[in-house]
Amino acid sequence: MALLSTPLSVRLAAEDVAFLARLEIDGTVTASDKIRALIRQARERAEEAGSFAQALTISHDQVAPALRGLRMLEQEGGLHSEVAIGLLTIAEEYLALALAAPRPGEAKPAEALVAHEARLVDCATRMTGLLLRWGVTPTAPAYDKAVVTRHLHSLIDLMNLISTAHAAPAEA
Protein backbone atom coordinates (compact mmCIF):
# COMPACT_ATOMS: atom_id res chain seq x y z
CA MET A 1 0.00 0.00 0.00
CA ALA A 2 1.21 3.50 -0.78
CA LEU A 3 2.42 5.64 2.06
CA LEU A 4 -0.26 8.23 2.78
CA SER A 5 1.77 11.10 4.20
CA THR A 6 0.47 14.28 2.58
CA PRO A 7 -2.79 15.63 3.92
CA LEU A 8 -5.02 17.49 1.48
CA SER A 9 -8.17 19.42 2.20
CA VAL A 10 -10.71 20.34 -0.45
CA ARG A 11 -14.08 22.04 -0.52
CA LEU A 12 -16.71 20.44 -2.73
CA ALA A 13 -20.07 21.52 -4.05
CA ALA A 14 -23.06 19.75 -2.52
CA GLU A 15 -23.81 17.86 -5.76
CA ASP A 16 -20.19 16.62 -5.88
CA VAL A 17 -20.45 15.36 -2.31
CA ALA A 18 -23.72 13.58 -3.18
CA PHE A 19 -22.08 12.08 -6.27
CA LEU A 20 -19.09 10.91 -4.23
CA ALA A 21 -21.42 9.26 -1.71
CA ARG A 22 -23.20 7.33 -4.51
CA LEU A 23 -20.02 6.50 -6.41
CA GLU A 24 -19.00 2.85 -6.27
CA ILE A 25 -15.35 2.08 -6.89
CA ASP A 26 -14.01 -1.38 -6.07
CA GLY A 27 -12.35 -1.47 -2.67
CA THR A 28 -13.46 1.98 -1.52
CA VAL A 29 -15.69 2.88 1.39
CA THR A 30 -14.91 6.37 2.63
CA ALA A 31 -14.87 9.63 0.71
CA SER A 32 -11.09 9.73 1.15
CA ASP A 33 -10.79 6.22 -0.35
CA LYS A 34 -12.92 7.27 -3.30
CA ILE A 35 -10.93 10.46 -3.93
CA ARG A 36 -7.66 8.49 -3.84
CA ALA A 37 -9.16 5.95 -6.28
CA LEU A 38 -10.32 8.73 -8.60
CA ILE A 39 -6.84 10.28 -8.57
CA ARG A 40 -5.31 6.86 -9.29
CA GLN A 41 -7.70 6.35 -12.21
CA ALA A 42 -6.97 9.82 -13.60
CA ARG A 43 -3.22 9.20 -13.29
CA GLU A 44 -3.55 5.83 -15.09
CA ARG A 45 -5.52 7.45 -17.92
CA ALA A 46 -2.99 10.28 -18.23
CA GLU A 47 0.00 7.93 -18.28
CA GLU A 48 0.47 5.50 -21.11
CA ALA A 49 -0.45 1.93 -20.38
CA GLY A 50 2.84 0.06 -20.41
CA SER A 51 1.39 -3.44 -20.62
CA PHE A 52 -1.78 -5.23 -21.55
CA ALA A 53 -2.37 -5.97 -17.85
CA GLN A 54 -2.29 -2.24 -17.01
CA ALA A 55 -4.51 -1.46 -19.99
CA LEU A 56 -6.97 -4.16 -18.93
CA THR A 57 -7.20 -2.63 -15.46
CA ILE A 58 -8.01 0.76 -17.01
CA SER A 59 -10.55 -0.67 -19.45
CA HIS A 60 -12.16 -2.71 -16.67
CA ASP A 61 -12.54 0.45 -14.58
CA GLN A 62 -14.29 2.08 -17.55
CA VAL A 63 -16.61 -0.79 -18.50
CA ALA A 64 -17.35 -2.27 -15.04
CA PRO A 65 -20.01 0.30 -14.08
CA ALA A 66 -21.96 -0.42 -17.26
CA LEU A 67 -21.74 -4.19 -16.72
CA ARG A 68 -22.73 -3.84 -13.09
CA GLY A 69 -25.69 -1.60 -13.98
CA LEU A 70 -26.84 -4.02 -16.66
CA ARG A 71 -26.64 -6.98 -14.30
CA MET A 72 -28.54 -5.10 -11.60
CA LEU A 73 -31.28 -4.17 -14.08
CA GLU A 74 -31.38 -7.75 -15.32
CA GLN A 75 -31.86 -8.96 -11.75
CA GLU A 76 -34.63 -6.42 -11.12
CA GLY A 77 -36.37 -7.10 -14.43
CA GLY A 78 -35.94 -10.87 -14.49
CA LEU A 79 -34.18 -10.69 -17.87
CA HIS A 80 -30.75 -11.77 -19.05
CA SER A 81 -28.82 -11.15 -22.24
CA GLU A 82 -25.73 -13.15 -23.11
CA VAL A 83 -25.51 -10.85 -26.12
CA ALA A 84 -25.27 -7.59 -24.14
CA ILE A 85 -22.96 -9.00 -21.46
CA GLY A 86 -20.80 -10.81 -24.02
CA LEU A 87 -20.39 -7.76 -26.24
CA LEU A 88 -19.49 -5.51 -23.30
CA THR A 89 -16.94 -8.06 -22.12
CA ILE A 90 -15.34 -8.15 -25.58
CA ALA A 91 -15.46 -4.32 -25.68
CA GLU A 92 -13.49 -4.24 -22.42
CA GLU A 93 -10.79 -6.43 -23.96
CA TYR A 94 -10.76 -4.46 -27.22
CA LEU A 95 -10.36 -1.19 -25.32
CA ALA A 96 -7.45 -2.72 -23.40
CA LEU A 97 -5.82 -3.75 -26.68
CA ALA A 98 -6.24 -0.22 -28.02
CA LEU A 99 -4.72 1.28 -24.87
CA ALA A 100 -1.78 -1.16 -25.06
CA ALA A 101 -1.00 -0.25 -28.68
CA PRO A 102 2.67 0.00 -29.61
CA ARG A 103 4.15 3.44 -29.01
CA PRO A 104 6.93 5.38 -30.71
CA GLY A 105 10.29 4.18 -29.46
CA GLU A 106 9.47 0.45 -29.66
CA ALA A 107 12.66 -1.60 -30.07
CA LYS A 108 11.23 -3.50 -33.05
CA PRO A 109 8.33 -1.38 -34.34
CA ALA A 110 7.45 -3.55 -37.34
CA GLU A 111 7.20 -6.69 -35.20
CA ALA A 112 5.23 -4.83 -32.51
CA LEU A 113 2.75 -3.50 -35.09
CA VAL A 114 2.27 -6.93 -36.70
CA ALA A 115 1.71 -8.58 -33.30
CA HIS A 116 -0.68 -5.84 -32.17
CA GLU A 117 -2.69 -6.04 -35.38
CA ALA A 118 -2.96 -9.83 -34.94
CA ARG A 119 -4.32 -9.36 -31.39
CA LEU A 120 -6.89 -6.81 -32.62
CA VAL A 121 -8.04 -9.13 -35.42
CA ASP A 122 -8.19 -12.07 -33.00
CA CYS A 123 -10.45 -10.12 -30.64
CA ALA A 124 -12.66 -8.89 -33.50
CA THR A 125 -12.87 -12.43 -34.89
CA ARG A 126 -13.99 -13.80 -31.53
CA MET A 127 -16.68 -11.09 -31.36
CA THR A 128 -17.83 -11.93 -34.90
CA GLY A 129 -17.88 -15.62 -33.97
CA LEU A 130 -20.09 -14.85 -30.98
CA LEU A 131 -22.52 -12.93 -33.19
CA LEU A 132 -22.61 -15.74 -35.74
CA ARG A 133 -23.21 -18.38 -33.04
CA TRP A 134 -26.01 -16.26 -31.58
CA GLY A 135 -27.48 -15.96 -35.08
CA VAL A 136 -27.67 -19.71 -35.70
CA THR A 137 -31.18 -19.73 -34.28
CA PRO A 138 -33.83 -17.06 -34.79
CA THR A 139 -33.93 -16.48 -31.03
CA ALA A 140 -30.67 -15.20 -29.59
CA PRO A 141 -30.03 -15.23 -25.82
CA ALA A 142 -30.88 -11.51 -25.70
CA TYR A 143 -33.52 -9.14 -24.36
CA ASP A 144 -34.80 -8.82 -27.94
CA LYS A 145 -34.62 -12.37 -29.29
CA ALA A 146 -34.41 -11.20 -32.94
CA VAL A 147 -31.77 -8.48 -32.46
CA VAL A 148 -28.92 -10.57 -33.87
CA THR A 149 -30.78 -12.09 -36.83
CA ARG A 150 -32.00 -8.64 -37.92
CA HIS A 151 -28.39 -7.53 -38.31
CA LEU A 152 -26.95 -10.75 -39.69
CA HIS A 153 -28.42 -10.35 -43.17
CA SER A 154 -25.89 -7.69 -44.14
CA LEU A 155 -23.07 -9.83 -42.71
CA ILE A 156 -24.31 -12.88 -44.61
CA ASP A 157 -24.35 -10.86 -47.85
CA LEU A 158 -20.79 -9.74 -47.18
CA MET A 159 -19.67 -13.30 -46.33
CA ASN A 160 -21.21 -14.55 -49.58
CA LEU A 161 -19.27 -11.93 -51.54
CA ILE A 162 -16.06 -12.94 -49.75
CA SER A 163 -16.72 -16.64 -50.45
CA THR A 164 -17.32 -15.89 -54.11
CA ALA A 165 -14.14 -13.83 -54.36
CA HIS A 166 -12.07 -16.58 -52.72
CA ALA A 167 -13.65 -19.30 -54.86
CA ALA A 168 -12.91 -17.45 -58.12
CA PRO A 169 -9.85 -18.83 -59.89
CA ALA A 170 -6.80 -16.64 -59.48
CA GLU A 171 -6.06 -14.64 -62.59
CA ALA A 172 -2.49 -14.71 -63.81
pLDDT tens for each residue of 63-92: 998 999 999 999 999 999 999 999 999 999
Q: Can you give the pLDDT at residue 171?
A: 57
Q: DSSP of 39-102, one letter per residue?
A: HHHHHHHHSPP-SHHHHHHHHHHHHHHHHHHHHHHHHHHT---HHHHHHHHHHHHHHHHHHT--
Helix, strand, coil shares, percent, the chain, to 5:
65, 0, 35
Q: What number is the average pLDDT over the span 130-137?
A: 90
Sign of CA dihedral 113, 114, 116, 117: positive
pLDDT exceeds cutoff 50 at 172: no
Question: 76 or 7: whose pLDDT is higher?
Answer: 76
47 pLDDT band, cuts 50/70/90, is: confident
Q: What is the pLDDT of residue 123?
A: 97
CA dist., res. 78 & res. 80, Å (int): 7
Q: How high is the pLDDT of residue 7?
A: 85
For the cut 70, the answer to whether the pLDDT of residue 2 exceeds it is no
One-letter identity of residue 158? L
pLDDT at 37 over 70: yes
Nearest partner of 120 among 100, 94, 89, 86, judged by Cα? 94
* Coil, helix or strand at residue 2: coil
What pLDDT is stored for residue 156 in this prediction? 87
How is the chain split into domains, by residue range? 48-160
